[in-house]
Amino acid sequence: MNPHMVSTVVLVVHWVVIVILSIRVVMRRPPVGVAMAWLVVVFSVPFAGAAVYLLFGEKRLGRSRAVRIQSGVPRLTRWQASLGAQAVTVPLPIGPPGEPLRRHAERLQGFPALPGNETLLLSDFESVFDHMIRDIGAAEQTVHLCFYIWEEKGRTGEIVDALTRAAQRGVQCRAIADALGSKTFLKGLQAGRLRRAGVDLRAAWPTGLARALATRTDLRNHRKIAVIDGRVAYTGSQNLVDPRFFKQKAGVGEWVDAMVRIKGPAAASLDGVFLFDWSVETGATFEPPTVWTASGSAMPGGSVVQVVPSGPDLQAESIHQVLLKAIYGAECELVMTTPYFVPDDALLTALTTAALCGVAVTLIIPARNDSLLVRHASAAHFDDLMSAGVRIALFNGGLLHTKSLTIDGAVSVFGSVNLDMRSFWLDSEISLLVYDRDFTGRLRDLQERYLRDSERLDPDVWNSRPSRRRFVDNACRLLGPLL
């Protein structure tokens, strides 16, 4: 075969691949920005672009995982309906943002808003570890943990000690750690110690070359959940890491996180999310917690809390819709914190519209980020936001990892979700909607603490940055749908 014929065959194959994958992208109907970004990759990088798309361009759950999810969803739905006996059935007494948001979230994911929860906002890792270790130490029946990142150093060893003691006294201890985020831990000494003590430790979304052919390898379980005896639960942004040791070489300072401790009916909702994940990872039948015994008694006058899980195993776009509904429902003020801000057009439009309508919109993000691409892609949106009146604050006290949104001082969105496409569409996430002015006030105070350690971005100074920086920011913005 002469060189001319070889080049012709290669060219023909190249265009056949492009046409087939283009049709595939169009027919799968991803968000327009995502579709266009993938088409650019496929067209511009011969063969390699096609390979990258086949590995990362589709939500391939794997056949066996998809079957386990489909078999568990009907039982999950029936259990969610059984929570209705405890649900809020009257309009929430907190003004316009709450009631439409509650109805929307329940229709999307099925979890009702449950009253009577005692909520404790924990704003530093020491208090998170102190409370969690104490609650595990008092466990009588079950301890359930699900975390994206679990590392051995620092105070995480105390969590291992507490779990080991709990398992040895007969408490059923089950834990899920993401196979990629906790890769080193799952192969380490502490994981072996847990297993020997009787803790059932599993890897979420296992990876490997063979699995990559059937499953998209960057679909991850990004949730942070701990539930003790079905009555006390934790969630938020804190992984099982000690920030004094975690990613110290990244040059961004210590990670700054927050968690909420919940005692009451909403703990059972979080336990249900964990047990559904457990059934998917282990193949066990989904057995939801008992509504009345596992949830505990409601606290009179406590917070109304609604759990919103999201991810490729459930309704992936649910948290995206919930956030848009929350933003459009604001009348006076929106304050949000996130480590990774790479909005799509819908979210960007919602934020600028709110600001132009007179809502005081504040975005607090880290001054230094551990992802260079995210840093530039995020910066590309600052011009539009500040032009609309959004206040942007750069946090200087480390890598601000808390994910929070407060609306009109009445409603909070709090959990593991970043304001980027990965959290919206790909990763398994957990969020809480808290309809309570007292809790929202405490979260708002924490946001103010972050603001005091931040520098407000000056629009005039920002607009005078070098042209080469503008170009890099805008070029990275094009990759935003893929980040």
Whole-angstrom CA distances from 272 to 358, 420, 424 are 40, 26, 21
Catalytic-labelled residue, pool 313, 401, 420, 436: 401
pLDDT at 295 over 50: no
**263 and 234 within one domain:** yes
* Rounded Cα distance, 445 and 26, in Å: 46
Is 309 inside any structural domain?
A: no
Q: Considering the candidates 408, 420, 427, 436, report the single residue annotated as catalytic.
A: 408
User: Are 278 and 150 contained in the same domain?
Assistant: yes
How many structural domains is the chain composed of?
3
Q: What is the pLDDT of residues 432-453, one digit of tens each?
A: 999 999 999 999 999 999 999 9
Strand duo 142-147 + 172-178: pairing: parallel
| Model confidence at 194: pLDDT above 70 | yes
Whole-angstrom distance, CA of residue 182 vs CA of residue 185: 5
Q: Which amino acid is at 475?
A: A
pLDDT of residue 445: 98
The predicted model gives 167-180 an average pLDDT of 97
Residues 6+ apart with CB under 8 A from 139: 166, 171, 228, 229
Name the burial class of residue 451, with classes exposed (0-12), middle (13-18) and buried (19+) by CB atoms within 10 angstroms of its CB.
middle
Catalytic residue check, 408:
yes
The winner for highest mean pLDDT among 248-252, 274-278, 284-288 is 274-278
Q: Does 403 participate in catalysis according to the annotation? A: yes
Q: Catalytic residue at 224? A: yes
What pLDDT does 93 receive?
67
The answer to whether residue 107 sits within a structural domain is no
Of 278, 303, 328, at which residue does a domain stop? 303
CB atoms within 10 A of CB 195: 13
In the residue annotation, 401 being an active-site residue is answered as yes
- pLDDT tops 50 at residue 292: no
Q: Are residues 73 and 169 in the same domain?
A: yes
- What pLDDT, in 10s, does the model give residues 200-217? 999 998 887 667 666 777
Domain boundary, last residue among 274, 303, 332: 303
Q: What is the pLDDT of residue 478?
A: 76
What separation, in Å, do the N-terminal and C-terminal C-alpha atoms of the chain show? 42
The 3-state secondary structure of the chain, one letter per residue: CCHHHHHHHHHHHHHHHHHHHHHHHHHHCCCHHHHHHHHHHHHHCCCHHHHHHHHHCCCCCCHHHHHHHHHHHHHHHHHHHHHHHHCCCCCCCCCCCHHHHHHHHHHHHCCCCEEEEEEEEECCHHHHHHHHHHHHHCCCCEEEEEECCECCCCCHHHHHHHHHHHHHCCCEEEEEEECCCCHHHHCCHHHHHHHHHCCEEEEECCCCHHHHCCCCCCCCECCEEEEECCCEEEEECCCECCCCCCCHHHCCCCEECCEEEEECCHHHHHHHHHHHHHHHHHCCCCCCCCHHHHHCCCCCCCEEEEEEEECCCCCCCHHHHHHHHHHHHCCCEEEEECCCEECCHHHHHHHHHHHHCCCEEEEEEECCCCCHHHHHHHHCCHHHHHHHCCEEEEECCCEECCEEEEECCCEEEEECCCEEHHHHHHCEEEEEEEECHHHHHHHHHHHHHHHHCEEECCHHHHHCCCHHHHHHHHHHHCCHHHC
pLDDT of residue 313: 76
Look at residue 47 and tell me if it is in a domain. yes
* Catalytic residue selected from 144, 224, 320, 376: 224
- Does one domain contain both 389 and 261? no
Per the prediction, the chain carries an average pLDDT of 89
Q: Does the pLDDT value for residue 405 go beyond 90?
A: yes
Whether residue 187 lies inside any domain: the answer is yes
Catalytic residue among 277, 381, 403, 427: 403
Catalytic residue among 104, 135, 144, 222: 222
Residues 28 and 73 in one domain: no
Among 128-142, 146-160, 370-384, which is the least confidently predicted range?
370-384
Query: Is the domain of 284 the same as that of 143?
Result: yes
Q: Which is catalytic among the residues 135, 178, 229, 344?
A: 229
Examine residue 31 and state whether it is found in any structural domain, yes or no. yes
- Between residues 290 and 280, which one has the greater pLDDT? 280
Percent of the chain residues topping a pLDDT of 70: 93
What domain range includes position 216? 63-98+112-303
Residue 454 forms part of a structural domain: yes
Residue 403 in contact with residue 443, Cβ under 8 Å? no
Structural domain contains residue 460 = yes
Among candidate residues 270, 303, 336, the one where a domain is terminated: 303
Q: Please state, for a pLDDT cut of 90, what percent of the chain lies above it.
A: 62
The CA angle 348-353-354, to the nearest 5 degrees, is 105
